[in-house]
């Protein structure tokens, strides 16, 4: 598992989401853009829920305060590894 410290050493301008180290899963490279930190969205929701938020409140917090926080071209990216994890009737 890659750590924030390892990535920061290789990418000194990389930005990270404070408090979500366990959700850091790697990097994303995009043509013509900086490599950015990649986080597992579901793991971020789980961290928020362990902090006392309901699933709905965690989703709202993520949408507005995490994925909605643009900090420039080094803003982290978020992957949804299992989009059906919290859904009872999976297709």
What pLDDT score was predicted for residue 59? 94
Cα 35 to Cα 29: distance, rounded to the nearest angstrom: 5
Enter the pTM of the model.
0.85
**Within a domain: 56:** yes
27-47 per-position pLDDT tens digit? 999 899 899 999 999 999 999
- Averaged pLDDT, 53-62: 95
Contact 77, 39 (CB under 8 A): yes
The residue range of the domain holding 58 is: 4-79
Within a domain: residue 68?
A: yes
Q: Is residue 86 part of a domain?
A: no
The H or E element that residue 47 is part of is helix 41-50
Quote the pLDDT of residue 89. Answer: 58
Would residue 85 count as lying in a domain? no
- Domain contains 15: yes
Number of domains the chain is built from? 1
87, part of any domain: no
């Amino acid at each position: 598992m890659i750590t924030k410290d390892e990535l920061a050493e290789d990418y000194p301008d990389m930005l990270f989401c404070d408090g979500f180290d366990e959700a850091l899963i790697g990097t994303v490279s995009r043509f013509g853009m900086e490599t950015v930190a990649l986080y597992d969205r579901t793991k971020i929701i789980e961290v928020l829920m362990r902090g006392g938020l309901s699933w709905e409140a965690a989703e709202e917090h993520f949408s507005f305060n995490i994925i909605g926080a643009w900090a420039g071209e080094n803003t982290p990216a978020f992957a949804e590894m299992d989009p059906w994890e919290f859904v009872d009737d999976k297709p």
